[in-house]
Amino acid sequence: MMWRSNNAPKGAAMNRLIELENQYCARNYDPLPVVLKEGKGVWLWDVDGKRYLDMMSAYSAVSFGHGHPTLVTALTAQARQLAVTSRAYHTDQLGPFLQLLCEMTGQPRALPMNTGAEAVETALKAARKWGHKVKGIPENRAEIIVCNGNFAGRTTTIIGFSSEAQYRDGFGPFAPGFVSVPFGDAAALEAAISPHTAAFLVEPIQGEAGIIVPPAGYLARCRDICTRHNVLLICDEVQTGLGRTGRLLACEHEGIRPDGLILGKALGGGLLPVSAFLAREDVMSVFHPGDHGSTFGGNPLAAAVGRAALRLLRDERLADRAQTMGKRLIDGLHAIGHPAIRDVRGKGLLIGMELDPAVISARAFCEHLMRHGILSKDTHATVVRFAPPLIITESEIDMTLKTINAIFDLLPAPRGGGRKYTVGASQRIAA
């Protein structure tokens, strides 16, 4: 029988605010029962004054920590001067921001947007038009290959190529032109390519699917396949990019450069939505004035914060820090060795701990973490994510591991006697 926990006790103010949200907000989320009021660095405080270590960082959007003074200074200074003009005019902030972004990522051009989903939609439009106008695919026949388990956002086009039934249920009809293949299977990618294939869209590590790391060499093989077949390789690094996995970009772990790159989340410094699609010249040249746009995309406020975030990432070597702190956390999770742990996987500070649902659900485990002053979130009912701000310290990692250990000590042994899991980097071994 699954072991469950009760919700943490809540004060009157917290209850009232949760009820207010439930009354007026659409029920498209199922948040943990905590009401947050303040954040600083890796810490958050609720309305009752209780402190929590943030091990989620808003799905990697708060990579620099809450309220980083450098980023807040950039935000407030620019807000006082000029915030939004639309792209109807040039501004003194957009050019320098995109120059730094392109130089750091090795991509020649960028198209600024706001949310990650918007940047993905931009990439899809670019890939299709490139396929029709440059590669010579007949009009309205361009196909884009995607992976099972993908998560790229919530727009109707994007959910149309999702393999998750709930994301699609009731929202059709969906746009055609997408072909799905298993994630991590380069041979399946090559087999799916046809004369109408324009692009392959892939996350270097699948986040929402449960922090799924593909086999070593997968992206390099995909790069070779796409090059040989004149297919664009587009890496969705909205969650994995900008230092999260221990490199500036997750695709750098295999030394490849994609033809198109999608960034978001951390690009806004945890203060506002900033995203971008970056690509090689012939891909970006398909856009002409009037083809695509965004009222807020590339606004001076976003550009100033994005530029400050990139400088911070570079100057404080936060990707290196993610590599070091991530190894400490992964090694510590491996060392726990509790039989309820089926797997620990990830890179840098993007880590998933898969649990045996017969013992405890990931949601219940996250509720216990919350009660012990740590905030995380489950995915797919069995995986607890750990993706703290990249500024997290060794002592905070160790505190997290100590707390996780203490929670496991509360759990009963799995039924079946003698069943034991050996935790590996990417596989489960039953003994």
Instruction: Just list the catalytic residues.
Output: 151, 236, 265
Amino acid sitting at position 370: M
Q: How far is residue 88 from each of residues 94, 254, 286, measured CA to CA in Å?
A: 13, 40, 20
Unique residue bearing structure tokens 């929590």:
52
Distance CA(116)–CA(143), nearest Å, equals 21
Structure token digits, residue 8: 């943490």
Distance CA(359)–CA(253), nearest Å, equals 35
- Tally DSSP H helices, then E strands, for the chain: 14, 17
Distance CA(167)–CA(28), nearest Å, equals 11
| Long-range pairs, 30-39, Cβ under 8 A, ≥24 | 32/366, 32/367, 32/370, 32/375, 32/377, 33/7, 33/8, 33/367, 33/370, 34/8, 34/370, 34/375, 35/10, 39/66, 39/67
Distance CA(238)–CA(349), nearest Å, equals 15
Cβ–Cβ < 8 Å for 130, 277: no
* Strands in 220-357 per DSSP E: 232-236, 260-263, 275-279, 341-347, 350-355
* Strands in 273-386 per DSSP E: 275-279, 341-347, 350-355, 374-375, 378-379, 383-386
By DSSP bridging, strand 378-379 and strand 109-113 are unpaired
Unique residue bearing structure tokens 């039989």:
339
Amino acid sitting at position 85: T
Q: How far is residue 385 from each of residues 184, 211, 301, measured CA to CA in Å?
A: 20, 8, 31
What per-residue string of b and e applies to 349-371 under the rule 16 or more CB within 10 Å gives b? bbbbbbbbeebbbbbbbbbbbbb
Unique residue bearing structure tokens 């620990």:
344
